[in-house]
Amino acid sequence: MTRSEPPELTEVERARWDAMRSALGGLARSMRAGDLDTDSQEAAWEQVRQIDLDMSRVRDALHVPDDAGELAGPLEVLLRRVPDGW
């Protein structure tokens, strides 16, 4: 199976993806620590649900870290071999 050209996330999509990762990471850390009661968990999930983001575009976009350095090129080659939807 070959991969079509991956979407490039817009600046807005990248900002929303960063917000989503931050919100989910904070929620996960708080849940592991037992710091959230039921109302706080529901509020945190509502924050996540309000982030307007097409997750299929995020899933299929290339995610080469900014700090990949000399490995950015080889990593991109590898990521381009992954089939759509993975």
Separation of alpha carbons 26 and 14, rounded Å: 18
Which pLDDT score is estimated for 1?
45
Is the separation of the CB atoms in 6 and 61 below 8 Å? yes
Is the separation of the CB atoms in 26 and 44 below 8 Å? yes
Mean confidence (pLDDT) of the chain: 87
Helix (H, G, I), strand (E, B) or coil at 4: coil
The DSSP output letter for 81 is T
**Arithmetic mean of pLDDT, 17-44:** 85
**Arithmetic mean of pLDDT, 22-37:** 84
Query: pLDDT for 41-71, tens place per residue?
Result: 888 888 899 999 999 999 888 889 989 999 9
Q: What are the residue boundaries of the structural domains of the chain, listed by start?
A: 11-80
Q: What is the pTM of this model?
A: 0.73
Is the separation of the CB atoms in 70 and 80 below 8 Å? no
* Residue indicated by tokens 């999930």: 45
CA 47, 50, 52, 54 torsion-angle sign: positive
Instruction: Give the residue with greater pLDDT, 65 vs 83.
Output: 65
